[in-house]
């Protein structure tokens, strides 16, 4: 079916729209999709979900658009396609309910054929309901945050997401492929349909392969054309070489079969095009993970679905920016924690080369929050899972399915053992070409009252280790899993390999600060195929799960254990972000990310300082925290006071110089807690600190910290100056407060105002500050550590836009941008 983007000019209203009277009384607000209806709402210390949602509050809201359905479409089919709508969405057409979909992440299609009036405008209204708070363990956003498409086609057409290609084998200079094309007949009669499938290199018009079939499709039913074909001298897809093909499937309705074939002219036709990459994937305990027959270790990061200043809004450009930055830092895989991602993220991973651990659910029938998806799981899981797998199964980036994360039923409660096998088998029925996994955690939850007595109930605690309680309790749950995901249980890898020598293990979720001493284990053990940090990119909600705190060593009241820093007790309003990631919400790499890149082999040197006030204090980091090092050498009033420097380096030795004078040369440690680091103590004095890394006596790389002067100017750093006039393209503009020498002032907290004229609008404006009351949708923000960001969104009209950033006492900074045709 042909797709028409319906992103332009929807009317957004608060509340539940149940009649045209509300349309008349409330003019609403015009918005373009994708749109997050929550990100611009006030935060509150009384928010029912508290830290889970970053103190945002859910509610009822609705979207309305009048859509003209051409008269020439009559006799065909019309549908709406949602890539996800948050959540409990009801779709109404001309006042009649057409669909209800509870899952806020799963894609779905709504047939409108028998509800619309052809040759006229039709009212489409979507009500969404996020009011059952708390309904998630993190910020969800609200509304039509992934956009909507209008589908139309003849009665005999290719089903939405109905094209599935996979690689059976690559050998002797050939790729042996198989394609399944699902054809629907929404009309009467036994139809004979010719299905043609053509494969093109993405940037070429010359076909690499072509095949066809003729099939019969009964009335009001669907049939699948199964076609095997061969591509000679194929170009393969992997993370380092993301070579793509464009697949075009076409179907022609040839006519009706009664007792013999009767042709009909003109024959109606339909077409669908998708991306595809030729690659194979397998996993075993001897060779590990194999992509195209080559061993791969997954350098992975978990990702939630939101996009920081933009809320949950997602587009291809947004996701390409994120995936591109992760690749530059050394990542080759992401886990879509803990629900189906947007199709934009999947396409970005296809195009840029990023493996995807594609996850379905955070909860099954036993809930984690009172308003979560567990209420609907029993009735909805199969249709949601089917829609998710059908959408993603042709994409080469997807190499592993996940049936869930830290499922409470993992110990057998609530029928978990049989449910686990049933979900895995459902995936295999839809796609038998990829391994199936599940992110399983320790028994900090998931046991009955008898077994839970005496267990440490702190999140992801593992006090039962050494008893084999976990191994015995989860073994039936792993039935049907090709790869068993271990959340925060690296200490069990070798022990469990003795118990289950044929088990393939994946570090499906891991504490970020431990990568230095965990990664060598991943590299050494062939049956462990990778590691996924929590998390790669900071997100809204689970506020303050990552933090570092400093206490007097003699303080008897100071917290003693990392779990004493959990958000519920230590993240009061207005904590907003998780603060646990390699990149902040603006896309700037943090020290944690720099450290990981060194562990993974970067030759760069990274120099950081601890604030002087922490010297001599006892450091306590949460399990998801990281030491509080900063890229800063501005400490007014601290001259002459002791300070600690921390250097991350993959070299053998590091020398540090303060204002040109060496304070020592030390070997880089290989010991816990931070292998590939070295610490120095010195006395703070303004100027320049330089760290130089050496291997075999030769300099490898260096880094420096410089004391900045007083804030003197605003500097804008656009990542691009052009946008596509499609209503969805984004321009990311970094903002820095600099001194007269152009150096960022790392302690500057300057209130800013933004104004934009022309074809662009402000989509997001703020900083990476994890503790803030800022409204990212308004025109004011305060810099955090000298930086902020404004994100401009293109309109549907071509033209130029002018951005001006102002602050009291500073000359305004401005840039001009252009929006050109889509």
Instruction: Give 104-159 pLDDT, tens digit per residue.
Output: 999 999 999 999 999 999 999 999 999 999 999 999 999 999 999 999 999 999 99
- Judged by DSSP in three states, 351 sits in helix
143 CB neighbour count, 10 Å cutoff: 29
Residue 329 has a pLDDT of 98
Question: Any residues with CB less than 8 A from the CB of 457 and at least 6 apart, and which?
Answer: 444, 445
Q: For 560-571, what is the mean pLDDT?
A: 93
Confidence class for position 456, pLDDT limits 50, 70, 90: confident
Confidence class for position 466, pLDDT limits 50, 70, 90: low
Tell me which residue of 771, 569, 604 sits closest to 676, measured CA to CA: 604
Mean pLDDT taken over the chain: 96
Asked if pLDDT for residue 639 goes beyond 70, the answer is yes
Asked if pLDDT for residue 457 goes beyond 80, the answer is no
Identify whether the C-beta of residue 577 lies closer than 8 Å to the C-beta of residue 545. Answer: no
Asked if pLDDT for residue 459 goes beyond 70, the answer is no
Confidence class for position 454, pLDDT limits 50, 70, 90: confident
* SS3 labels along 463-484: CCCCCCHHHHHHCHHHCCCCCE
Q: For 485-506, what is the mean pLDDT?
A: 97
Residue 349 parent element (H or E): helix 343-352
User: What Cα–Cα distance (Å) separates residue 13 from each residue in 37, 381, 575?
Assistant: 9, 30, 28
Asked if pLDDT for residue 167 goes beyond 70, the answer is yes
Confidence class for position 22, pLDDT limits 50, 70, 90: confident
729-780 residue pLDDT tens = 999 999 999 999 999 999 999 999 999 999 999 999 999 999 999 999 999 9
536-554 residue pLDDT tens = 999 999 999 999 999 999 9
Tell me which residue of 510, 478, 477 sits closest to 491, measured CA to CA: 510
Tell me which residue of 710, 666, 660 sits closest to 685, measured CA to CA: 660
301-312 residue pLDDT tens = 999 999 999 999
Confidence class for position 19, pLDDT limits 50, 70, 90: confident
Residue 746 has a pLDDT of 97
Asked if pLDDT for residue 463 goes beyond 90, the answer is no
Identify whether the C-beta of residue 530 lies closer than 8 Å to the C-beta of residue 299. Answer: yes
The CA dihedral of 672, 677, 679, 685, to the nearest 10 degrees, is -150
Confidence class for position 452, pLDDT limits 50, 70, 90: confident
241-294 residue pLDDT tens = 999 999 999 999 999 999 999 998 888 999 999 999 999 999 999 999 999 999
529-539 residue pLDDT tens = 999 999 999 99
Within 552-601, residue ranges assigned H as helices are 567-570, 591-599
Residue 751 burial (10 A CB sphere; 0-12, 13-18, 19+): exposed
Question: Any residues with CB less than 8 A from the CB of 769 and at least 6 apart, and which?
Answer: 576, 782, 784
Residue 460 has a pLDDT of 64
Residue 110 has a pLDDT of 98
Residue 655 has a pLDDT of 98
42-99 residue pLDDT tens = 999 999 999 999 999 999 999 999 999 999 999 999 999 999 999 999 999 999 999 9
Strands (E), 34-94: 60-69, 77-82, 89-93
- Judged by DSSP in three states, 298 sits in strand
Residue 170 has a pLDDT of 97
576-631 residue pLDDT tens = 999 999 999 999 999 999 999 999 999 999 999 999 999 999 999 999 999 999 99
Residue 455 has a pLDDT of 74
| Model pTM above 0.85 | yes
Longest dimension (CA), the chain: 98
185-203 residue pLDDT tens = 999 999 999 999 999 999 8
Sheet holding 10-14, edge to edge: 29-31, 10-14, 60-69, 120-129, 89-93, 96-101
């Amino acid at each position: 079916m042909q797709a028409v983007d319906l992103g332009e000019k929807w009317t957004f209203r608060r509340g539940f729209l149940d009649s045209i009277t509300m349309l008349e009384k409330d003019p609403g607000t015009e918005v373009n999709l994708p749109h997050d209806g929550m990100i611009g709402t006030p935060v509150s210390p009384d928010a029912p979900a508290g830290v889970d949602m970053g103190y945002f509050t859910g509610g009822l809201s609705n979207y309305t658009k009048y859509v003209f359905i051409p008269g020439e479409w009559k006799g065909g089919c019309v549908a709406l396609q949602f890539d996800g709508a948050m959540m409990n969405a009801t779709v109404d057409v001309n006042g009649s309910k057409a669909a209800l979909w509870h899952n806020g992440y799963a894609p779905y299609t709504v047939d409108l054929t028998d509800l619309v009036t052809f040759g006229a405008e039709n009212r489409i209204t979507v009500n969404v309901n996020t009011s059952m708070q708390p309904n998630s363990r993190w910020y969800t956003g609200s509304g039509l945050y992934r956009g909507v498409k209008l589908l139309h086609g003849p009665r005999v057409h290719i089903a939405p997401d109905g094209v599935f290609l996979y690689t059976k084998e690559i050998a002797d200079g050939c790729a042996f492929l198989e394609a399944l094309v699902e054809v629907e007949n929404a009309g009467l009669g036994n139809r004979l349909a010719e299905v043609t499938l053509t494969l093109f290199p993405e940037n070429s018009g010359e076909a690499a392969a072509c095949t066809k079939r003729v099939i019969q499709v009964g009335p009001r039913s669907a049939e699948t054309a199964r076609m095997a074909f061969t591509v000679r001298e194929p170009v393969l897809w992997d993370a380092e070489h993301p070579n793509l093909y464009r697949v075009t499937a076409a179907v022609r309705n040839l006519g009706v079969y009664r007792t013999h074939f009767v042709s009909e002219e003109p024959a109606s036709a339909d077409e669908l095009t998708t991306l595809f990459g030729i690659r194979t994937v397998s996993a075993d305990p001897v060779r590990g993970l194999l992509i195209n027959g080559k061993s791969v270790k997954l350098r992975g990061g978990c990702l939630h679905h939101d996009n920081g200043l933009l809320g949950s809004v997602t587009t291809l450009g947004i996701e390409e920016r994120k995936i591109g930055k992760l690749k530059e830092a050394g990542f080759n895989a992401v886990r879509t924690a803990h629900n189906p991602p947007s199709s934009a993220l999947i396409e970005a991973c296809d195009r840029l080369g990023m493996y995807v651990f594609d996850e379905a659910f955070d909860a099954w029938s036993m809930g984690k929050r009172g308003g979560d998806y567990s209420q609907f799981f029993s009735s909805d899981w199969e249709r949601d899972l089917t829609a998710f797998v059908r959408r993603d199964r042709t994409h080469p980036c997807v190499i592993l399915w996940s049936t869930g994360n830290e499922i409470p039923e993992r110990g057998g409660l609530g029928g978990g053992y049989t449910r686990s096998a049933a979900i895995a088998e459902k995936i295999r029925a839809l796609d038998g070409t990829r391994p199936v996994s599940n992110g399983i955690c320790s028994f900090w939850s998931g046991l009955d009252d008898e077994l839970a007595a005496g267990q440490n109930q702190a999140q992801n605690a593992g006090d039962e280790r050494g008893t084999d309680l976990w191994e015995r309790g989860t073994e039936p749950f792993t039935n049907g899993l090709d790869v068993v995901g271990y959340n925060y249980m690296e200490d069990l890898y070798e022990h469990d390999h003795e118990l289950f020598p044929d088990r393939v293990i994946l570090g499906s979720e891991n504490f970020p600060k431990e990568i230095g001493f965990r990664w060598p284990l991943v590299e050494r053990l062939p049956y462990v195929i990778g590691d996924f940090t929590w998390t790669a990119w900071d997100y809204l909600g689970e506020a303050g799960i990552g933090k570092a705190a400093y206490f007097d060593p003699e303080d008897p009241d100071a917290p003693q254990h990392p779990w004493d820093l959990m958000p519920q007790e230590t993240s009061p309003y207005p904590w907003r972000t998780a603060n646990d990631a390699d990149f902040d919400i603006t896309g700037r790499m943090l020290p944690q990310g720099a450290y990981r890149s060194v562990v993974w082999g970067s030759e760069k040197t990274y120099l950081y300082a601890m604030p002087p006030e922490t010297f001599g204090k006892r450091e306590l980091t949460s399990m998801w925290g990281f030491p509080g090092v900063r890229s800063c050498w501005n400490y007014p009033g601290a001259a002459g006071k002791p300070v600690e420097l921390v250097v991350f380096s993959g070299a053998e030795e590091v020398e540090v110089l303060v204002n040109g004078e060496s304070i020592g040369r030390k070997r880089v440690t290989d010991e816990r807690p931070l292998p590939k680091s070295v610490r120095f103590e010195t006395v703070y004095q303004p100027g320049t600190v330089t760290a130089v890394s050496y291997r075999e006596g030769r300099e490898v790389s260096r880094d420096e910290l410089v004391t900045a002067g007083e804030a003197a100017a605003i500097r804008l750093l656009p990542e691009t100056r052009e946008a596509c006039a499609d209503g969805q393209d984004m321009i990311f503009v970094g903002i820095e407060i600099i001194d007269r020498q152009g150096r960022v002032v790392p302690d500057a907290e300057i209130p800013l105002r933004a104004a934009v004229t022309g074809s662009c609008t402000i989509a997001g404006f703020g900083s990476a500050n994890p503790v803030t009351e800022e409204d990212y949708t308004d025109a004011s923000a305060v810099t955090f550590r000298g930086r902020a960001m404004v994100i401009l969104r293109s309109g549907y009209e071509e033209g130029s836009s002018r951005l001006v950033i102002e602050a009291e006492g500073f000359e305004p900074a401005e840039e001009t941008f252009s929006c050109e045709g889509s």
